[in-house]
């Protein structure tokens, strides 16, 4: 039994400074705010009522055996396919999570903590941090630029709105029908013509971000700022990592698989030999995906030598030529039969080249030895000639002394 002096947990005190303070705002006449509806993907239907009905602001919850003060029941995986179970949040914060700012009126008008705006601001930061931690762990060898692209794919509004739709968030959002109708109109051509998310997608994604913040704040630490080791943070991060695992596993193989940074060097070591060349060049025009802001390059690796000319060994796609070239080398290395056959040819050719080299070196050695012998013989001849010249000089001198030779002055 709980103590009568125990204070009820106030999640608002764990938001950034100023969130729990009430803002005094003059009550201005509000038009078309006497009623609200739950946002749906289909056309809106306005239902006029003379006065605001408090029942309209209640978040619909599944029938459970929990007490009235219990947290909002989670959405089970049985209703979302293979997606993880949606963590529950307290009903008081759930009401804020699903309340659009335009739905505030009466006593709540002007209260900055009565709609999802500030929760969405906090949830956006948490999601960015959790996605960064995931991609760093999942792709330990990926450069920072590619990590940013992976993170952007996980945290963009289109991805978050997709999750929100699967968990039924649109049917729980409290928003005036005229506001919803305007958002839906702006989300369709010709009003929406940019490559970014539609206003309706942004709305649903904002609610999902607010829900993530609510999960973190539902189990706070004693300190004002929740840290990564807090239970709420861990719950939200585990939930998102499970969701993102589905997204990452559903990506095309060209984008999801890790790149071997040494693939080119490995292929060169296994195949390159004297007179053999590996060329990397683009195989098709670059593919621009404006919606994702990406440009894909297709590069092939070609072999010339051993009777082959521009033989395509492998092909790869990447967000730059270097990455595409590495993946082309990976693709070639994955063709074990082809690479094995070429390695066999390389071994035969290398052995033949080795023998030819040894023969050339042996002949060169013989030639050098013969040349050395000639040089030695030449020196001996020169030495003999020198000795003969000296001997002849001595004979001449002796003849002069003996008078046998007349010296003419």
C-alpha span between 121 and 127 (Å, rounded): 10
Q: 166-212: per-residue pLDDT in tens? A: 999 999 999 888 888 888 888 776 665 555 678 899 999 999 999 99
C-alpha span between 339 and 332 (Å, rounded): 7
C-alpha span between 38 and 46 (Å, rounded): 11
pTM for the whole thing?
0.51
CB atoms within 10 A of CB 338: 15
What's the whole-number mean pLDDT along residues 241-253?
Answer: 78
Please tell me which residue, 29 or 379, carries the higher pLDDT value.
379
Instruction: For domain 11-251, give the CATH superfamily.
Output: Ribonuclease III domain (1.10.1520.10)
- Could you tell me the residue ranges of all domains in the chain? 11-251, 263-334
Which two structure tokens, joined as six digits, stand for 32? 């078309």
How wide is the angle at C-alpha 286 spanned by C-alphas 283 and 290, nearest 5°?
A: 155
C-alpha span between 400 and 407 (Å, rounded): 7
C-alpha span between 355 and 375 (Å, rounded): 30
What's the whole-number mean pLDDT along residues 14-30?
Answer: 45
At residue 117, does pLDDT exceed 60? yes
- The CATH architecture annotation of domain 263-334 reads 2-Layer Sandwich (3.30)
Determine the pLDDT at residue 166: 94
Determine the pLDDT at residue 69: 34
What's the whole-number mean pLDDT along residues 151-175?
Answer: 92
Q: Is 37:44 a contact under the CB 8 Å cutoff? A: yes
């Amino acid at each position: 039994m709980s103590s009568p002096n125990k204070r009820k947990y106030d999640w608002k005190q764990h938001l950034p400074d100023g969130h729990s303070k009430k803002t005094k705002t003059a009550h201005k006449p509000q038009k078309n705010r006497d009623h609200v509806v739950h946002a749906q993907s289909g056309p809106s239907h306005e239902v006029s009522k003379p006065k605001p009905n408090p029942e309209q602001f209640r978040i619909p919850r599944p029938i459970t055996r929990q007490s009235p003060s219990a947290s909002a029941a989670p959405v089970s995986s049985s209703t979302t396919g293979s997606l993880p179970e949606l963590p529950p949040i307290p009903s008081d914060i759930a009401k804020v999570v699903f309340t659009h700012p335009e739905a505030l009126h009466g006593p709540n008008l002007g209260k900055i903590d009565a709609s999802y705006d500030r929760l969405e601001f906090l949830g956006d930061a948490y999601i960015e941090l959790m996605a960064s931690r995931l991609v760093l762990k999942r792709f330990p060898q990926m450069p920072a630029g590619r990590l940013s692209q992976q993170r952007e794919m996980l945290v963009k509004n289109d991805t978050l709105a997709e999750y929100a739709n699967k968990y039924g968030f649109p049917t729980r959002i409290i928003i005036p029908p005229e506001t919803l109708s305007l958002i839906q109109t702006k989300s369709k051509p010709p009003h929406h013509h940019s490559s970014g998310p539609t206003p309706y997608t942004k709305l649903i994604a904002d609610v999902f971000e607010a829900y993530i913040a609510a999960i973190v704040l539902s189990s706070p630490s004693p300190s004002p700022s929740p840290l990564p080791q807090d239970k709420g943070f861990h719950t939200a991060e585990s939930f998102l990592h499970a969701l993102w695992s589905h997204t990452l596993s559903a990506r095309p193989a060209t984008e999801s698989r890790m790149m071997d940074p040494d693939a080119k060097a490995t292929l060169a070591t296994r195949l390159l030999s004297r007179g053999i060349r590996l060329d990397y060049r683009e195989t098709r025009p670059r593919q621009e995906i404006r919606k994702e802001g990406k440009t894909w390059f297709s590069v092939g690796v070609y072999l010339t030598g051993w009777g082959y000319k521009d033989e395509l060994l492998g092909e790869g796609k990447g967000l730059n030529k270097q990455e595409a070239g590495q993946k082309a080398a990976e693709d070639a290395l994955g063709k074990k039969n082809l690479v094995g056959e070429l390695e066999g040819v390389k071994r035969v050719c290398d052995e033949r080249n080795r023998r030819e080299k040894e023969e050339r070196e042996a002949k060169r050695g013989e030639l050098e030895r013969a040349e050395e012998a000639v040089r030695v013989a030449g020196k001996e001849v020169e030495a003999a000639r020198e000795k003969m010249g000296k001997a002849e000089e001595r004979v001449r001198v002796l003849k002069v002394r003996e008078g046998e030779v007349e010296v003419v002055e």
